[in-house]
Amino acid sequence: MSKRLLILEDGTIFEGEALGANLDVTGELVFNTGMTGYQESITDQSYNGQILTFTYPIVGNYGVNRDDYESIHPTCKAVVVHEAARRPSNWRMQMSFDEFLKSKNIPGITGVDTRAITKIVREHGTMKASLVQARDEVDHQMSQLQATVLPTNQVETSSTATAYPSPNTGRKVVVVDFGLKHSILRELSKRECNLTVVPYNTSAKEILEMEPDGVMLTNGPGDPTDVPEAIEMIKEVQGKIPIFGICLGHQLFSLANGATTYKMKFGHRGFNHAVREVATGRIDFTSQNHGYAVSSENLPEDLMITHVEINDNSVEGVRHKHFPAFSVQFHPDAAPGPHDASYLFDDFMDLMDNFKK
């Protein structure tokens, strides 16, 4: 295997072996603490533009299969692993981890200390990094990294460009795609929802003309304040149609009602985040993937906090006091992760049914 370097913005350099596609990339370095689900994570559009470090020591041991894609064309920049499995085995496997990365044009690096990388990110926060071929001009590569300005149009590059249906016989739901996971569509389809997926910049007028029973605001990448058109759409739609927001959709819903958001030091990315429901004290273990959060300070009067993260007390869910609308920061669709919170999709069904009465 050829050598490859992971160069961090703070000047730290890790040398390892090349994995996946053969190209140099720059992105935001983040880490995921999940023990499984590498295929779902890599194909999650919320990692758009990011270099994804897996903290679990071996990745790729069960290969890649056709069922676990969260999107067909992943947009993460690269992956970093301590060890890539050389002999994957699983009855569903169609290709190896390395073959998958090559097929999706995603470079990677293996044989590096992912614990050390994670400690750096936890201490200093997410930062820019470059994954490059090992060569002599490291100083030039470092200066290029420090001069790079990361894009802010992640939602635009993750969302569908045109609307498309997923027909069924039940409730009509418009799904606003900010970089959706297929597992959200699967959960809604399980409940026989008649889905229409629309681009992130679809107007309130266009949505209302579809006469849906409900609107789903999906997950997606980046800073929610970079999507002002979605915030305006939500302001016009809420109160007229029930709304359920997930992850970025939660942040956008909160911003539309006067809340503020902030960038977290290193975010929540993993499948073991414990969340407490404020009203009942119920604890759910949840799947999460976000670098921004809704601030609990100066929360607008119209919103009430429904869920909090028990480790850092960050806001994990809100509900509108007057409109049929709620949102959560975590992923009740899981995939991968625990399914403790899947009942929230049923709550959305009840919200739509009760609104029509």
pLDDT at 150 over 80: yes
Indicate which residue of 82, 250, 268, 331 is catalytic. Answer: 331
Enumerate domains of the chain plus CATH numbers: 3-150 (3.50.30.20), 155-356 (3.40.50.880)
Q: What is the pLDDT of residue 136?
A: 73
Give how far Cα 254 sits from Cα of 207, 294, 331, Å: 19, 7, 16
Give the number of C-alpha atoms closer than 13 A to the C-alpha of residue 66, restricted to the C-beta side.
Answer: 2
pLDDT at 58 over 90: yes
Q: Work out the average pLDDT over 307-315.
A: 97
Structure tokens at 335: 């995939």
Q: What is the pLDDT of residue 78?
A: 98
Q: What is the pTM of this model?
A: 0.96
46 touches 73 (CB < 8 A): no
Confidence category of residue 135, pLDDT binned at 50, 70, 90: confident
Confidence category of residue 170, pLDDT binned at 50, 70, 90: very high
Q: Work out the average pLDDT over 42-49.
A: 98
Q: Work out the average pLDDT over 162-167.
A: 97
Q: What is the pLDDT of residue 134?
A: 83
Dump pLDDT digits (tens) for 189-225: 999 999 999 999 999 999 999 999 999 999 999 999 9
Residue 331 a catalytic site member: yes
Q: What is the pLDDT of residue 96?
A: 97
Burial class (CB in 10 A: 0-12, 13-18, 19+), 123: exposed
| Residue 125 labeled ligand binder | no
Indicate which residue of 44, 98, 284, 333 is catalytic. Answer: 333
Indicate which residue of 247, 268, 273, 307 is catalytic. Answer: 247
Q: Work out the average pLDDT over 128-134.
A: 94
Q: How many CB atoms lie within 10 A of CB 334?
A: 21
pLDDT at 147 over 80: yes
Q: What is the pLDDT of residue 139?
A: 87
Q: Work out the average pLDDT over 299-320.
A: 97
Residue 98 a catalytic site member: no
314 touches 249 (CB < 8 A): no
Q: What is the pLDDT of residue 151?
A: 94
Give how far Cα 122 sits from Cα of 37, 263, 266, Å: 22, 14, 6
Helices (H), ranges, the chain: 38-42, 97-103, 114-124, 138-147, 154-158, 182-190, 204-209, 228-237, 248-256, 343-356
| Residue 251 labeled ligand binder | yes
Closest CA to 351 of 317, 322, 321, 326: 326
The rounded mean pLDDT for the chain is 96
Dump pLDDT digits (tens) for 84-95: 999 999 999 999
Q: Among 38-47, 131-140, 315-324, which is the least confidently predicted range?
A: 131-140
| Residue 292 labeled ligand binder | yes
pLDDT at 1 over 90: no
Structure tokens at 76: 């993460």
| Residue 220 labeled ligand binder | yes
| Residue 291 labeled ligand binder | yes
- Say how far apart CA 96 and CA 89 lie, in whole Å: 9
pLDDT at 240 over 90: yes
Q: What is the pLDDT of residue 260?
A: 98
Q: Work out the average pLDDT over 177-194.
A: 97
Confidence category of residue 107, pLDDT binned at 50, 70, 90: very high
Write the DSSP string, 327-341.
Answer: EESSBTT-SSS--TT
Write the DSSP string, 16-80.
Answer: EEEEES---EEEEEEEE--SS-HHHHHT-GGGTTEEEEE-SSEE-TT-B-SS--S-SS----EEE
Q: Three-class SS of residue 93?
A: coil
CA dihedral 80, 226, 202, 234 (to 10 degrees): 110
| Residue 214 labeled ligand binder | no
